[in-house]
Amino acid sequence: MNTILRNELLKTYLKWRTYIGFIAIAVLVPLVEIALKLEGGGMVRRMTRDLSQDFFFVGNLFNGYFVTYFIMNSLWVHVPFLIALVAGDQLAGEATGGTFRLMLIRPASRTKILLMKYVATLFYAFSLVLFLAVVSLSLGLYLFGGGDLLVAGKVLTILPQTQLPLRMLIAFGLATWSMWCVASLAYLFSSLVENAIGPIVGTMTVIIVFFILSNIQIEFFESIKPYLFTTYFNIWQMAFEDPIPWQTIAQHGGVLGGFIIGFYAVTWYIFVKKDVLS
């Protein structure tokens, strides 16, 4: 099994499309942070404009942690697209390349092969989120320095700098969990077709439609929101609430885990029943 996993990881990381996501992050994150640096903290001033009449803010609120928190909002749509780009190709790419039958003549069962390709897919999603964390946080702290984190939500929260390394670690860990749900959906779509374009477009269509429905404040949609996995994508933001709502995180994480298992179970059923002709 270790040999199969090693081969699948090699196949994944030897494809040029695997590095599109890393290149995009390596280009976009510095551009955004340099643009914010040139802006000179205008975003924080706009957030605190109404409160500045009653409160006096001290310290560096426009810091590396604040910029990283701002960049993490790309986890709604942009990072899912980069993950679908690779996850959607894992099975469909084998069909496109005509290597499905060659892959399945291995002594290992279809279940083992499918599982190892899935583990390689999840590892890619983890490595992409980790890369986003390292680039945004290290460059942010270098350009803007450290400081307390100002979080604008239902209430305005200021988190002390001493808590932020641990909270960032928790947030990116939870972000990885939600991105595994995206990877699992793209992997499922990849088992249905023989071209990688379909799974990528299909995954992003589902995410965008569900995301819109999750955020429309209309009573008609309230009843279906609990059944949309995008409703729970805000799980990483809970790491920046005070206190951290661990019970809600466990509930949302459990629902996302149910979707991950469900998507993989359907993929497994389709794959083991699939009549491979290419």
Query: Each residue of 96-145: pLDDT tens digit?
Result: 777 766 666 666 788 888 999 999 999 999 999 999 999 999 999 999 88
Confidence of residue 156 (pLDDT cuts 50, 70, 90): confident
Q: Could you tell me which residue, 2 or 114, shows the higher pLDDT?
A: 114
Report pLDDT digits (tens) over 211-268: 888 878 787 778 888 999 999 988 999 999 989 999 999 999 999 999 999 999 999 9
Residues comprising the chain, all counted: 278
Does 61 have pLDDT greater than 90?
Answer: no
Phi/psi of residue 150, nearest 5 degrees: -95, 120
